[in-house]
């Protein structure tokens, strides 16, 4: 455990090494949320409700997207694991007394902590600038459920991306192809641009069987308090199921991948 | 003439590379189609439940979005090589470009067109044509300012990319600047009229993504007056002139540090 704590500390410090890159990355996150904010702002001009949401609920959703997306998606492992398998740098880790996936999971959490600190400041600044009416849940059950489901979402995202990246074991020349597909699907289907219940019921029902809503949409739904108690139970069952399944598949694929890993390019 | 032969050679080489790896080409193309389609589906369903957003109907919003993609994809097709400029700079490879007997800007701007975007462009053009012919009623005369403004948008996009290249020479930072450009342009997936003031003016005249992406679509619908069309062209030419000046300035400070 102590070695992972050291990795966490070093990774946290490492994030400060490339300060300009980090600041530009945060600027990009704010820009992404601006379009969504103004789009929904325009939808609610002259309307009290739309798609079952009031303006304060929708504004809470939009602001939460910045926070949840930052928390779930801050993962430097995605930029490194694929290339380390492809160019053979993985070998350096395999000979060390450390679990490679745990190593990157620790680094991801260091990045999440730093990004969340900045996201909090950004949300506060945007709130001061735009002064939107925001309505979050005032029920502790929803709040704690939302926080717990968000933490699970970060783990699901980690394991899902490792499943996708493990393609590099079998196709080391193109580790990015499937990742691009995953990120494209994540961008829209996770609920990062719009609440998924805006879609027709049959499409929404199908989406609930994929892992994407459990990454952004359901955590926010709980934080906003826009759910019933039976829905909370269903969300928890879905989240835990995807966590267990994605972890199992990623570990299985990782073990099989290591059997075909040839350390080429090293 | 030499430059045209050179650009033809770059396009030919890129096409061969794209054909060489059909599975990867297909994966990226399908992903890009999914990305465009999913957001279009969202606009479709959202406006099916509402009469309009910012005064624009569902079909108009979809055409705004498709035209945004048309311009964005064209710019990516042409200027993809800008994304690869940093490795060229830090490896010292740019020295080899500078000593060759042609304008180095051609190499670093259009040296690696992306044929995935070319395939995407064909799909987009087909979809836009379908929408214009069968779904909306648009006057033939509107096509003249529309096409001219599309060319103007590509001129502004070129100016943007030249600025990024020049800043890259001075600071060695390219990647995030290009991505910020991409995120800024993504704000124009919806018409800039949807944004409230002063953001709307900022996105039109300071960061001219409104001129680049919203104006052509507005001209197509006959919603743009001639003064704004003229302003757009002046803006395009001035931005290109300034970017070229800045490029020449930056070249004087190129240090060839890694070579």
Name the residue facing B180 among A24, A39, A188 (closest C-beta).
A24
Residue to substitute from B58, B168, B181, B187, interface A, most A β-carbons within 10 A? B187
The C-alpha atoms of residue B40 and residue A110 are separated, in whole angstroms, by: 36
Mean pLDDT of chain A: 86
The chain B residue lying nearest A192, using CA atoms, is B39
Report whether A163 contacts A249 (CB < 8 A): yes
Name the residue facing A39 among B30, B183, B190 (closest C-beta).
B190
What percent of chain B lies above the pLDDT cut of 70?
99
The C-alpha atoms of residue A84 and residue A87 are separated, in whole angstroms, by: 5
- In terms of Cβ atoms closer than 10 Å to its own Cβ (0-12, 13-18, 19+), residue B8 is exposed
The C-alpha atoms of residue B40 and residue A90 are separated, in whole angstroms, by: 40
Q: What is the arithmetic mean of pLDDT over A131-143?
A: 80
Higher pLDDT, A197 or B246: B246
Mean pLDDT of chain B: 86
pLDDT at residue number A252: 94
Cβ distance of B176 and A21 shorter than 8 Å: yes
The chain B residue lying nearest A26, using CA atoms, is B180
Q: What pTM was computed for the model?
A: 0.83
The C-alpha atoms of residue B192 and residue B174 are separated, in whole angstroms, by: 27
B positions 7-36 inside 8 Å of A (CB): 21, 23-24, 27-28, 30-32, 34-35
Structural domain spans, chain B? 2-252
List chain B residues with CB under 8 Å of A47: 50
Residue to substitute from A175, A177, A192, A198, interface B, most B β-carbons within 10 A? A177
Residue A167 CB partners (closer than 8 Å, separation 6+): A174, A175, A177, A178
The pLDDT tens digits of the residues spanning A30-51 come to: 887 887 888 888 788 777 788 7
Cβ distance of B189 and A31 shorter than 8 Å: no
The pLDDT tens digits of the residues spanning B83-109 come to: 888 888 888 888 888 888 888 898 988
Name the pLDDT band for B155 (thresholds 50, 70, 90).
very high
The pLDDT tens digits of the residues spanning B124-148 come to: 999 988 888 887 777 788 888 999 9
List chain A residues with CB under 8 Å of B32: 184
The chain B residue lying nearest A49, using CA atoms, is B50
Name the pLDDT band for B258 (thresholds 50, 70, 90).
low
Cβ distance of B21 and A174 shorter than 8 Å: yes
Is B187 part of the contact surface with chain A (CB cutoff 8 Å)?
yes
**Buried residues in B115-146 as b, exposed as e (16+ CB within 10 A):** bbbbbbbebbeebbeebbeeeeebeeebeebb
Q: Count CA atoms closer than 13 A to A205's CA, side-chain side.
A: 3
Cβ distance of A34 and B187 shorter than 8 Å: yes
Lookup result for tokens 């934080």: A223
Q: Is the pLDDT of residue B62 over 80?
A: yes
List chain B residues with CB under 8 Å of A24: 176-177, 179-180
Residues of chain A whose beta carbon is less than 8 angstroms from a beta carbon of chain B are 20-21, 24-25, 27-28, 31-32, 34-35, 38-39, 41-43, 47, 50-51, 174, 177-178, 180-181, 184-185, 187-189, 193-194, 198-200
pLDDT at residue number A40: 83
Cβ distance of A181 and B38 shorter than 8 Å: no
Is B176 part of the contact surface with chain A (CB cutoff 8 Å)?
yes
Q: How many Cβ atoms from other residues are within 10 Å of residue A124's Cβ?
A: 11
Q: Is the pLDDT of residue B118 over 60?
A: yes
């Amino acid at each position: 455990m102590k070695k992972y704590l050291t990795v966490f500390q070093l990774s946290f410090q490492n994030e400060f090494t490339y300060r300009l890159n980090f600041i530009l990355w945060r600027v990009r996150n704010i820009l992404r949320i601006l379009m969504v904010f103004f789009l929904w702002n325009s939808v609610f001009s002259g309307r009290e409700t739309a798609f079952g949401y009031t303006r304060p609920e929708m504004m809470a959703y939009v602001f939460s997207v910045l926070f949840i997306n930052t928390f779930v998606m801050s993962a430097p492992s995605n930029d490194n694991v694929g290339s380390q398998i492809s160019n053979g740098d993985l070998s350096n880790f395999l000979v060390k007394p450390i679990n490679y996936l745990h190593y990157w999971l620790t680094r991801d959490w260091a990045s999440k902590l730093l990004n969340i600190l900045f996201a909090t400041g950004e949300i506060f600044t945007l709130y001061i600038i735009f002064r939107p009416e925001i309505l979050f849940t005032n029920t502790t059950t929803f709040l704690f459920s939302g926080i717990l489901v968000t933490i699970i979402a970060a783990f699901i995202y980690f394991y899902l991306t490792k499943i996708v990246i493990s393609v590099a074991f079998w196709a080391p020349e193109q580790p990015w192809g499937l990742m691009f597909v995953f990120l494209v699907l994540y961008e829209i289907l996770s609920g990062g641009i719009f609440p998924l219940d805006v879609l027709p019921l049959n499409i929404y029902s199908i989406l609930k069987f994929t892992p994407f809503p459990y990454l952004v949409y359901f955590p926010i739904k709980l934080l906003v308090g826009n759910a019933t108690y039976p829905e909370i139970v269903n969300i928890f069952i879905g989240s835990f199921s995807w966590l267990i399944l994605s972890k199992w598949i990623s570990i299985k694929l990782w073990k099989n991948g290591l059997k075909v890993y040839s350390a080429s390019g090293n | 003439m030499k430059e045209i032969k050179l650009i033809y050679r770059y396009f030919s080489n890129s096409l061969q590379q794209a054909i060489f790896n059909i599975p990867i080409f297909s994966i990226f193309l399908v992903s890009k189609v999914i990305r465009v389609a999913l957001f279009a589906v969202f606009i479709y369903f959202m406006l099916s439940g509402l009469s309009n957003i910012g005064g624009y109907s569902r079909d108009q919003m979809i055409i705004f979005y498709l035209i945004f993609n048309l311009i964005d994809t064209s710019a990516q097709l042409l200027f993809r090589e800008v994304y690869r400029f940093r490795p060229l700079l830090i490896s010292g490879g740019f020295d080899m470009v500078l000593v060759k007997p042609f304008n180095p800007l051609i190499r670093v701007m259009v040296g690696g067109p992306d044929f995935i975007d070319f395939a995407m462009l064909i799909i987009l053009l087909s979809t836009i044509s379908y929408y214009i012919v069968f779904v909306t009623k648009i006057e033939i005369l509107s096509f003249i300012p529309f096409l001219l403004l599309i060319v103007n948008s590509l001129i502004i996009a070129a100016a943007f990319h030249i600025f990024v290249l020049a800043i890259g020479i001075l600071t060695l930072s390219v990647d995030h600047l290009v991505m910020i450009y991409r995120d800024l342009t993504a704000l124009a997936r919806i018409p800039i009229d949807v944004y409230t003031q002063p953001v709307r003016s900022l996105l039109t005249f300071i960061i001219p993504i409104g001129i680049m992406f919203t104006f052509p679509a507005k001209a197509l619908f006959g919603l743009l007056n001639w003064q704004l069309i003229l302003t757009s062209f002046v803006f395009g030419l001035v931005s290109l002139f300034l970017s070229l000046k800045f490029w020449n300035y930056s070249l004087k400070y190129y240090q060839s540090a890694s070579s």
